[in-house]
Amino acid sequence: MNTAADGNGIVNNFLALIASTFEAHSVLLFMPESENSTARLTAFFSMSEQSVNSDAQIAQGKGLVGWILKNRQPLLFQIPEDSQANLGYYADNTEDSIHSFMGTYVAGSGALCLDSKKINFFSENQQKLLDLFAKMIPQLIAAADTSKQTAAVEQYLQVLEQLADLKKNYNGWSPYLRKLLQILSVSLGFEYVAFTSLSGKKDCFYIDGEFPAVTVNKEFGFSGGLAGWVYKNEEMVQNDGKGSAKGIMPLYAKNDGLPLFPAVVCIPIRVEKSVAAVLCLASASPKDFDGNFKIITRVISEDLAQFLEIVALRYRVHKIGAKNA
């Protein structure tokens, strides 16, 4: 269920997407009318829609939301079963059943918050992802004033929604990865998208999946290409292709069978603080890498890193179970 107080459709859809991504009970956005005024509930998504006080206003320093507003810092709080959360946005006794809270500061003296009825439900890694979502809020609000911006933002939200649905219907890594790369290629407008992973060999990686599937050699060393450079230096590579064509490096190596793409993004995917994979997006024509695009790629990389950790955990559990059977 989705509702709002003086909110716009883009923000509402965005909060619903966050709820789906984190499997949260409620997601709420608080923004003030002026920098020092109390923050009012401007939009929300909740499984208990009727319980949310749509006229809620929270002063700096009051309760968990107020702590975020005052300190301008993220907050992850696990609520003991015998304690009340002091949330300040439920109109009835729904707050008594909330046992996990996570929130973060939004530029403009606001706060993006979500909660769950489950105990110890949110994690520090999820907090990082929520911080990235919060950085999109100002752009979403501004997009309501410009149709061109609105169309671009809605496109990015559709990408995130498709990725969330893909995770829910997960039925194995290989089919998941094929669909993921296709979504990114079609939705973001890149002719070639690939996901590479570290190889068992030292200073080598292999192509775990690509769309379209065109390369013959699937394993490469760190030297000679952009993806290898990212593994070695643990930093993202981003080239919009609008500069000189001289000095363009191949994606993997000189003999990778791919054209020299002028516009390339290579994003390191970190699992347990180490780069375990690199997501590559390449285009034959120049691209516009605006602020929204940079945020969306960070959201995708963080979300993919968390999903990789879950997949790896499932694999280890399955392996232990098979061994003990």
The answer to whether the CB of 90 falls within 8 A of the CB of 84 is no
Question: Token pair for residue 300?
Answer: 């995708």
- Min mean pLDDT across 119-123, 131-135, 321-325 is at 321-325
- Residue 65's domain comprises 2-145
Check whether residue 100 and residue 202 sit in a common domain: no
The answer to whether the CB of 215 falls within 8 A of the CB of 180 is no
Domain of 199: which CATH number?
A: 3.30.450.40
2-30 average pLDDT score: 78
| CB contact set of 57 (below 8 Å; sequence gap of 6+) | 38, 39, 40, 41
Would you state the pLDDT for residue 247? 62
3-state helix, strand, coil split of the chain in percent (to 5) is 40, 25, 35
- Min mean pLDDT across 147-151, 164-168, 220-224, 276-280 is at 147-151
Check whether residue 204 and residue 290 sit in a common domain: yes
The residue assigned the tokens 């963080």 is 302
Would you state the pLDDT for residue 191? 94
Question: Token pair for residue 288?
Answer: 């516009």
| CB contact set of 73 (below 8 Å; sequence gap of 6+) | 105
Check whether residue 157 and residue 83 sit in a common domain: no
- Averaged pLDDT score across all residues of the chain: 85
Instruction: Reply yes or no on whether the pLDDT at 160 is more than 60.
Output: yes
Given 114, 145, 176, the domain boundary residue is 145
What 3-state class would DSSP assign to 66? helix
Given 100, 122, 145, the domain boundary residue is 145
Question: Token pair for residue 1?
Answer: 């269920």
pLDDT tens-place string over residues 50-94: 899 999 999 999 999 999 999 999 999 998 877 777 899 999 888
Given 126, 145, 164, the domain boundary residue is 145
